[in-house]
């Protein structure tokens, strides 16, 4: 196994001729990033023989659909080269096949493998950026099965990286994300696979997530098991959101995700990615208190205070939803928040006060 | 919680492909699954996030007067949808009677169909006997504390009550569950979707491994708009049903031409009572008919000292539900 993330190396040029069509080469794809996989075995068996090779309509049940789904929107080209032909998927999901062709075409493929240092029987995976630099390379001499699933997994991890918050150009970001994702997925995989069988709990690797919390993108690596609540409190130091029952029954962990109140203890951090999250720390949106906070103080809507941030965030959701007018309706709509001190009458009063003011 | 691999599916095809993996589970709102994973009751090896397979997760009126609800639609969105409130009110009422506002914002229709029992023995991994959690291990509820357990549809192997409110309303509205699976698409009538425990309490639905619920349709039945849900519980809000009833009545000149009766909180699956329906059809809509129907609905009840009260409670909930909808 050999891998590198050397940013300076030029990607070897190649040409894959295919009948009367223009040849497939580095130049053909303009400045688009390319994910290049040099696979072993014939195209037909790799795809279980049921590939309908029509432009834009490739069927498969071997991971290709997942790869294409992940690539869609990334703006990258996927080129898969097999022993007897090649498949190419453009950034708009257009697809075309190359080969098998004649001896000349087979020579093209052999020359390409040689230039990329992928010996017969080995597989190679490469990420090439828009400047034709080789940004990631991975060669496996004794390939395992499931190359496409591996690619899909890596691409899926790339999809988790929010592109909107960075100043890098989008393509640069795509390339570095792809490279990082492949590196993580492929290089770490054998290490993990070598661990003993999971008789006891093993953590199958962390994932990178970007959470949009109170208007700020916060990037962190979390175990997939981490709840949004634990990510906020234990990883980001945002302890305003409280842990009560940790099973969705008390409401102390209420935050807004996408403007809707939810239980952060039953939300996986990875699943909260992309949506704007508002916690008690960000509710006011400035130095002045939010009207709900003012009303809770004015009405004495708490005693020990432990449930209060959840109560206030739930009330913020209640007001946004607009389904509660009467005290009874407020009580029903606040039923997901428990107060062991029994401050309920004052909580209802505070919410009604804020509702009328807002 | 056991570790798992997290995959985010961007379309149903990707979800189905990933679902072929042994030990894979779909996750929607996660309100049941994450809870059970924390308890150690569920331990999927792979979680397939299906919240992005259907970006709109829409609720759509169908040309024939029916309704199509995407599997990813949130309970709160369904409950407050104008078509649901106007034409399928039992569904709105059932959803709003369930859980808390936070959980209703999270929970999906597909997930609610797959909701698992609140049986305390099932949820506690320190209890060795649970045929649902560990097939063949026994049933601690038999001879145990059964106040929350089922009195209809049980077997010597399991008497766990089905917890969903939504599903009870869907039974009364003749809902159809639409799925995509390894063998293609299919439609399952809601009454056939959940299975009785019998000898295999660990099997709860007609779904095969890897089959994905894509949407639910509600037909434009003549009884749908005169439907309602009555739920009786230990607290005024945020509690599971001790007994509940969803009813739908096609009322014509004071007589019931078509009726649907479903019970919740008292059975091992969302319980359609064809016995009660048979008593009601063709009868005038009055209390005596409702009481006869309620008696018929609970005739087969298998009670224990702890849950004997559920017979009368369910009967009265059913009578109340019928009185309410015919009085509208």
- B/e letters for B173-201, b = 16+ CB within 10 Å, e = fewer, are bbbbbbbbbeeeeeebebbebbbbbeeeb
Q: Are residues A227 and A335 both part of a single domain?
A: yes
pLDDT at A49: 31
pLDDT along chain B (328 residues), means of 10: 91 89 94 98 96 88 97 98 98 98 98 98 98 98 96 98 98 98 95 98 96 97 98 97 98 97 98 98 98 97 98 98 97
From B238's Cα to the closest Cα of chain A, the distance in A is: 6
- B11 inside 8 A of chain A by CB: yes
B101 touches B76 (CB < 8 A): yes
In a domain, A344, yes or no: yes
Count: domains in chain A: 2
Confidence of residue A187 (pLDDT cuts 50, 70, 90): very low
Q: Can you tell me which residue has the tokens 């349709």?
A: B217
B80:A260 CB<8 A: no
- B/e letters for B83-114, b = 16+ CB within 10 Å, e = fewer, are bbeebbbbbbbbbbbbbbbbbbbbbbbbbbbb
Q: Are residues A299 and A334 both part of a single domain?
A: yes
> Chain A residues with CB inside 8 Å of B238's CB?
335-336
In a domain, A351, yes or no: yes
Q: Are residues A180 and A230 both part of a single domain?
A: no
Question: Greatest CA separation found in chain B?
Answer: 61
Closest CA to A153 of A192, A114, A120, A119: A192
Q: Are residues A307 and A216 both part of a single domain?
A: yes
- A301 inside 8 A of chain B by CB: no
H or E, element range at B76: helix B75-79
pLDDT at B57: 73
Q: For chain B, where do the domains classified as CATH 3.30.390.50 start and end?
A: 229-326
Q: Can you tell me which residue has the tokens 């959803």?
A: B95
In a domain, A25, yes or no: yes
Point out the residue among A69, A201, A337 whose CB comes nearest to the CB of B14: A69
Confidence of residue A7 (pLDDT cuts 50, 70, 90): very low
From A286's Cα to the closest Cα of chain B, the distance in A is: 26
Q: Are residues A15 and A138 both part of a single domain?
A: yes
pLDDT at A302: 97
Residues facing residue B113 across a β-bridge: none
Q: Are residues A225 and A259 both part of a single domain?
A: yes
Residue B40 region by backbone torsions, left for phi larger than 0, else alpha for psi between -120 and 50, else beta: left
B1:A204 CB<8 A: no
A332:B237 CB<8 A: yes
For chain A, percent of residues with pLDDT exceeding 90 = 41
A317:B237 CB<8 A: no
pLDDT at B92: 98
pLDDT at B71: 97
pLDDT at A59: 39
Confidence of residue A30 (pLDDT cuts 50, 70, 90): confident
pLDDT at A269: 97
Point out the residue among B8, B76, B106 whose CB comes nearest to the CB of A266: B106
CATH 3.30.43.10 correct for B5-51: yes
- CA Rg value for chain B: 19
Q: Are residues A181 and A213 both part of a single domain?
A: no
pLDDT at A6: 42
Q: For chain B, where do the domains classified as CATH 3.30.43.10 start and end?
A: 5-51
From B76's Cα to the closest Cα of chain A, the distance in A is: 10
Alpha carbon distance B185, A84 (integer Å): 35
Q: Are residues A29 and A175 both part of a single domain?
A: yes
pLDDT at A142: 61
Kindly give, in sequence order, each residue whose CB lies less than 8 Å from that of residue A18, ignoring residues fewer than 6 positions away. A24, A86, A97, A98, A99, A101, A105
Q: Are residues A157 and A214 both part of a single domain?
A: no
A61:B17 CB<8 A: yes
From A11's Cα to the closest Cα of chain B, the distance in A is: 31
Alpha carbon distance A156, A178 (integer Å): 10
> Chain A residues with CB inside 8 Å of B4's CB?
204, 224-225
Q: Are residues A102 and A213 both part of a single domain?
A: no
Closest CA to A260 of B12, B183, B102: B102
What would the pLDDT profile of A261-316 be if each residue is shown by its tens digit? Answer: 999 999 999 999 989 999 999 999 999 999 999 999 999 999 999 999 999 999 99
Residue that is last in its domain, among A193, A216, A247: A193
Confidence of residue A70 (pLDDT cuts 50, 70, 90): low
pLDDT at B322: 98
Alpha carbon distance B280, A186 (integer Å): 65
In a domain, A199, yes or no: no
A61 touches B12 (CB < 8 A): no
Question: What CATH number is given to the structural domain containing A278?
Answer: 3.10.20.30
B76:A317 CB<8 A: no
Q: Are residues A32 and A62 both part of a single domain?
A: yes
A246: tokens are: 């940790």
Between the two ends of chain B, the Cα-to-Cα distance in Å is 49
Alpha carbon distance B101, B163 (integer Å): 17
B10:A72 CB<8 A: yes
B197 touches B132 (CB < 8 A): yes
Residue that is last in its domain, among A138, A166, A193: A193
- B49 inside 8 A of chain A by CB: yes
pLDDT at A40: 72
The parent domain of residue A300 ranges over 205-358
pLDDT at B37: 98
pLDDT at A287: 93
B31:A323 CB<8 A: no
| SS3 letters across chain A | CEEECCCCCECCCCEEEECCEEEEEHHHHCCCCEEEEECCCCHHHHCCCCCCCECCECCCCCCHHHHHHHHCCCCCEEEEEECCEEEEECCCCCEEEECCCCHHHHHHHHHHHHHCCCCCCCEEEEEECCCCEEEEEEEECCCCCCHHHHHHHHHHHHHCCCCCCCCCCHHHHHHHHHHHHHHHHHHHHHHHHCCCCCCCCCCCCCEEEEEEECCEEEEEEECCCCEHHHHHHHHCCCCCCCCCCCCCCCCCCEEEECCEEEEHHHCEHHHHCCCEEECHHHCCCCCCCCHHHHHHHHCCCCCCCCCHHHHHHHHHHHHHHCCCCCHHHHHHHCCCCCCCCCCHHHHHHHHHHHHHHC
- B283 inside 8 A of chain A by CB: no
Least confident of A100-114, A212-226, B217-231: A100-114
Chain A 215-254, residues with CB within 8 Å of chain B CB atoms: 223-225, 227, 246-248, 251, 254
> Chain A residues with CB inside 8 Å of B49's CB?
270-271
B31:A160 CB<8 A: no
User: Between these two residues, A109 and A204, which has the higher pLDDT value?
Assistant: A109
Closest CA to B318 of B298, B294, B300, B299: B294
pLDDT at A17 over 50: yes
Residue that is last in its domain, among A169, A193, A217: A193
Q: Which of A248, A275, A277, A328 would you mutate first to test chain B, the one with the most B CBs within 10 A? A: A248
pLDDT at A60 over 60: no
Chain B 239-278, residues with CB within 8 Å of chain A CB atoms: none
B99:A336 CB<8 A: yes
What would the pLDDT profile of A317-344 be if each residue is shown by its tens digit? Answer: 999 999 999 999 999 999 999 999 999 9
- Domain B229-326 -> CATH class: alpha beta
Q: Are residues A225 and A153 both part of a single domain?
A: no
A159:B8 CB<8 A: yes
pLDDT at A161: 42
B101:A335 CB<8 A: yes
């Amino acid at each position: 196994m050999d891998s590198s993330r050397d940013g300076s190396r030029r990607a070897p040029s190649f040409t894959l001729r295919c009948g009367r069509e223009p040849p497939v080469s580095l130049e053909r794809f303009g400045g688009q990033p390319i994910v290049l996989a040099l696979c072993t075995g014939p195209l037909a068996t790799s795809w279980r023989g049921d590939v309908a090779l029509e432009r834009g309509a490739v069927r498969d049940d071997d991971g290709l659909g997942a790869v294409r789904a992940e690539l869609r929107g990334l703006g990258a080209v996927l080129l898969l080269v097999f022993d007897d032909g090649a498949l190419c998927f453009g950034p708009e999901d257009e697809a075309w096949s190359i080969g098998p062709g004649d001896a000349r075409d087979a020579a093209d493929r052999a020359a390409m493998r040689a230039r990329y240092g992928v010996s017969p029987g080995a597989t190679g995976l490469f990420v090439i950026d828009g400047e034709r630099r080789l940004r990631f390379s991975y060669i496996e001499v004794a390939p395992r099965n499931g190359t496409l699933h591996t690619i899909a997994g890596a691409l899926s991890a790339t999809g988790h990286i929010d592109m909107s918050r960075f100043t890098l150009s989008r393509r640069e970001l795509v390339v570095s994300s792809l490279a990082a994702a492949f590196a993580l997925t492929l290089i770490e995989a054998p290490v993990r696979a070598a661990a003993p069988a999971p008789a006891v709990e093993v953590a199958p690797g962390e994932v990178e997530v970007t959470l949009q919390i109170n208007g700020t993108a916060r990037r962190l690596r979390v175990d997939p098991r981490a709840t949004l609540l634990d990510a906020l409190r234990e990883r980001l130091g945002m302890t305003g959101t409280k842990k009560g029952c940790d099973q969705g029954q008390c409401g102390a962990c209420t935050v807004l995700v996408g403007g809707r109140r939810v239980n952060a203890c039953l939300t996986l951090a990875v699943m909260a990615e992309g949506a704007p999250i508002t916690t008690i720390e960000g509710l006011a949106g400035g130095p002045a208190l939010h009207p709900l906070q003012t009303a809770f103080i004015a009405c004495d809507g708490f005693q020990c205070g432990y449930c209060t941030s959840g109560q206030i965030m739930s009330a913020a959701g209640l007001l946004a939803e607009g389904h509660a007018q009467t005290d009874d309706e407020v009580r029903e709509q606040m039923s997901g928040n428990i107060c062991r001190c029994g401050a309920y009458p004052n909580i209802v009063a505070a919410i009604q006060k804020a509702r009328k003011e807002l | 919680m056991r570790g798992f691999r997290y995959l985010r599916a961007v379309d149903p095809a990707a979800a189905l492909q990933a679902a072929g993996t042994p030990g894979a589970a779909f996750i929607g709102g996660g309100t049941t699954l994450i809870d059970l994973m924390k308890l150690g009751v569920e331990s999927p090896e792979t979680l397939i996030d299906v919240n992005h397979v259907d970006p709109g997760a829409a609720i759509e009126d169908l040309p024939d007067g029916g309704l199509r609800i995407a599997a990813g639609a949130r309970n709160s969105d369904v409950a407050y949808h104008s078509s649901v409130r106007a034409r399928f009110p039992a569904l709105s009422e059932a959803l709003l009677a369930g859980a808390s506002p936070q959980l209703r914002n999270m929970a999906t229709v597909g997930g609610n169909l797959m909701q698992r029992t609140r049986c305390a023995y099932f949820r506690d991994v320190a209890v060795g006997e649970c045929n649902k959690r560990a097939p063949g291990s026994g049933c601690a509820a038999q001879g145990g504390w059964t106040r929350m357990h089922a009195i209809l549809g049980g077997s010597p192997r399991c008497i766990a009550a089905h917890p969903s409110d939504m599903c009870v309303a869907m039974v009364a509205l003749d809902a159809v569950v639409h799925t995509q699976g390894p063998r293609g698409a299919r439609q399952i009538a809601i009454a056939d979707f959940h299975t009785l425990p019998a000898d295999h309490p660990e099997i709860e639905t007609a779904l095969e491994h890897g089959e994905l619920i894509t949407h639910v349709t509600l037909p434009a039945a003549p009884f749908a708009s005169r439907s309602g849900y009555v739920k009786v519980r230990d607290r005024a809000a945020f509690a599971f049903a001790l007994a509940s009833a969803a009813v739908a009545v096609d009322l014509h000149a004071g007589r019931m031409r078509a009726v649907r009766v479903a019970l919740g909180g008292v059975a091992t699956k969302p319980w359609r009572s064809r016995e009660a329906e048979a008593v009601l059809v063709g009868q005038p809509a009055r209390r005596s008919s409702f009481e006869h129907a309620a008696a018929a609905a609970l005739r087969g009840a298998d009670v224990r000292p702890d849950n004997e009260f559920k017979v009368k409670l369910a009967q009265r909930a059913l009578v109340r539900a019928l009185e309410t909808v015919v009085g509208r």
